[in-house]
Amino acid sequence: MDRSQKADAVAELNRTFNEVGVVVVTRNLGMTVKQSTDLRNKMRAAGASYKVSKNKLAIIAAEGTDYAVIADLLTGPTALATSADPVAAAKIAVEFAKTNDKLEIVGGAMGAQLLNAEGVKSLATMPSLDELRAKIVGLIVAPATKLATITQAPAAQIARVLSAHAEKQAA
């Protein structure tokens, strides 16, 4: 990797650090290409990304961002899982690590808040941003649905009474 490629890689990582909500640092302990591709596909489907980068370049790129706190975690063969949703990258990385012993969760950061491996696992158990939005919409819509049901009930009862009365008179 020559100097210009390193500069491009640092600029891209810096841009990523300024746009994401969470960074999860993982250690690759000999994953195959198929396993890495599978993990990347799962990350992409969840709106996250998984990228192997040189530790020194990642440390340089993190300087001046909230994610400068991850510098101590970047030792050995590491990779970064990132996502704008604060839960997506953590959730996919933790689920994948449960089924694959060659991926280890080292830690991460959510903004300037440094997370250890247990913190990342706790973050992964939280509902995603989309799930929280769906719950809020459900809570907002539920009273309106109940109100519509309640207001329609008397009219339906009157219609049934009139129908029964009409049937009685016709018989």
What pLDDT, on a 0 to 100 scale, did the predictor assign at position 137? 85
Q: Do 137 and 93 lie in a common domain? A: no
Handedness of CA 138, 47, 97, 121 (dihedral sign): negative
Q: Which of 117, 128, 43 is nearest to 81 (CA)?
A: 43
Q: Which domain holds residue 105?
A: 3-126
Handedness of CA 91, 93, 81, 120 (dihedral sign): positive
38-59 residue pLDDT tens = 999 999 999 999 999 899 999 9
Domain of residue 37, CATH code = 3.30.70.1730
Among 111, 126, 141, the domain boundary falls at: 126
Measured CA to CA, the distance from residue 39 to residue 66 in angstroms comes to: 26
101-136 residue pLDDT tens = 899 999 999 988 999 999 999 888 888 777 878 888
133-156 residue pLDDT tens = 888 888 787 777 776 777 776 777
